Amino acid sequence: MGWFSNACSAVGSFVSSAISTVGNAIKTVGEKITTTAKAFLSIGVKVFETVAKIIVEIAKALGLVDENETEEEIGAKTEVAEKNRDEFDSDKAYLEYLRKDVELPKGYIDDLSKEEKLAARAKGAALLGSTISEELDYEIDPTFWLTAARKGFDAKETYSIIEKFKVNDLESTDLMEFSENKLSPEFSQKTAEVIREALRSDDVGMGEMEAKEAVIDLKQLED
């Protein structure tokens, strides 16, 4: 059993309560966003904090949200909006509706319980992550975000890996498969080379040795 499955089985009651709250949102945000949000929380709050930070920073860099907007605010808006995700042709259109046309009642977020706030953050992060996928025309599986966060990659490093995976025809799920040593030797070598290339890119700026060490550390995530 890999680290992701192990982590999912070890969440506490606080996170379990938040996951249950997210599950109740399937009619408003849709199955994909709900499933992703639950996956984000299933590995625990600490890793989710990093996931959310990475996603929000990439979303800001792509111009999908403004500097002062948060995943919590976006997720909370899904709870008060009159329209649901299935009324829009894309996640981006739904996100724009929430951002431009939906206002939260005064004190709404402050009145939420800790579990409800965590659920709102997970929904917002999931929607932003899915919108990033649309914007880049590349399907980003929840396990990709979780693996990147668990390794400690920042937003620039994660975005560079996404770009390199796309141009080299790698699936986003290959990142976790690589970390769990589930790829064939030949494909594992290719994946390692692509990750090193991403980390050595001008936008990231790692040196050769640092990039190699990062790949080695990624392989040790299941320990």
pLDDT digit string (tens) for 72-113? 999 999 999 999 999 999 999 999 999 999 999 999 999 999
Predicted pLDDT of residue 222: 55
Average pLDDT, the chain: 92
Q: In sequence order, which residues have a C-beta less than 8 Å from that of residue 116 and are 6 or more positions away?
A: 18, 21
Give the residue with greater pLDDT, 120 vs 16. Answer: 120
Q: What is the pLDDT of residues 150-186, one digit of tens each?
A: 999 999 999 999 999 999 999 999 999 999 999 999 9
Predicted pLDDT of residue 11: 53
Average pLDDT value for residue range 30-38: 96
Rounded Cα distance, 38 and 127, in Å: 12
Predicted pLDDT of residue 20: 86
Predicted pLDDT of residue 23: 86
CA-based torsion, 203, 207, 211, 213: positive or negative: negative
Backbone conformation region of residue 153, classed left if phi is above 0, alpha if psi is from -120 to 50, else beta: beta
Predicted pLDDT of residue 223: 46
Rounded Cα distance, 209 and 44, in Å: 31
pTM: 0.92
**139 with 133: CB under 8 angstroms?**
yes
Give me the residue spans of the domains in the chain. 3-137, 146-219
Predicted pLDDT of residue 24: 85
